[in-house]
Structure 1
Amino acid sequence: MARILITEDEDSLRTFVARALRLDGHETSEAADGEEGLALLCEEPFDLLLSDIRMPVMDGIELAHRASSNFPDLKILLMTGYAEQRERADDLASKIIDVVPKPFALTDIRAAVASALAG
C-alpha cells in the first residue's frame, strides 16, 4: 500500500483521517502544519500528500507548491472547508489531483485517496 503524509492543523480530524487510511492498509505520517509537513517530506519518501489548505505557519497552497517543485512525482490531494480557499488552489491545477470539500464522510476521504493513488 501507499505511504501518505497528512498535514492538518485540527488534531481530531488528522487522527480520524490517519486511522481510516491505516485501516485501508496505508502507512501514514502526520504533521500539524505545512512547515512540519515539508520537513517530513524532505526526510522520507511519500506516495501521497493529503493536506488541508488553511493552516498556520505554512498553508496547504504553499506546501503544495514547494512539494511539487521538490518532489515532482508526489501525488497531492488538498482538502478544505472554505469555498474561497478552493478557488486559491486553481493555480495548482497541474500540480494537484483534486480538492476534497470538508466536512466529508469517512467513505468520501477513503475514496478520494484511492482515486488519487490510482490516477
Structure 2
Amino acid sequence: MARVLVAEDDEPVRVFVRRALEIDGHTVVEAMDGAEALDVLERGKGAFDLLLTDIRMPLMDGIALALAAAPQFPQLIILLMTGYADQRERAHGLDALVHDVMTKPFSLADIRAKVAEALAAGPKRPA
C-alpha cells in the first residue's frame, strides 16, 4: 500500500481522512499545515507516494506547498482538497503539478476512491 502525507489544519477532517486511508491499508502521516508538511517531506527525503493537502491553511497553503514540493520530489503524486470555490480556481493552473482538486465536504467512499484513482494514475511529472 501507499505512504500518504496528509496536510490539513482542521483536525476533525485530518483524522477522518487518515482513518479513511488506513482502511485501505495506507500508511498515513499527518501535518497541521503546509510548512510542517514540507518539513516532513524534506526530512523524509520525499519518501511518500501521495501528498493530500488542503489548499487553505495557515503558514503555508496547499498551493505553495505543491509548488515547493513538486520540483524537489517529482515522483510525488499531489492531490489538493478545498471547500472554497475561489481556492479551487487558484489551483486551476496547476494541472501539470497536481492530479486533481477534491471538493469538500466529501464522503468516506469519495476520499478512498479519489486516492485510489490518483495512485493508479501515478505522478504527473517525469522524475
Q: TM-score normalized by structure 1?
A: 0.98
Q: Equivalent residue of 2:74, what SS?
A: coil
Query: Which stretches of structure 1, 4 residues or more, deviate above 6 A after TM superposition?
Result: none
2:92 counterpart residue number: 90
Q: How does 1:63-78 map to 2 (within 5 A)?
A: 63-78=65-80
**Percent identity (aligned):** 60
Give the gaps of 5 or more residues in structure 1: none
Q: Equivalent residue of 1:110, what SS?
A: helix
Give the gaps of 5 or more residues in structure 2: 122-127
Shift of 1:112: 0.3
Work out the CA distance in 2 between the residues paired with 1:20 and 1:109.
Answer: 7
Shift of 1:91: 2.0
For residues 45-70 of structure 1, the C-alpha deviation after alignment (integer angstroms, 9 at most, x for no partner) is 10000000000000000000001011
2:118 counterpart residue number: 116
- Equivalences, count: 119
Q: TM-score normalized by structure 2?
A: 0.92
Aligned-pair RMSD on alpha carbons? 0.5
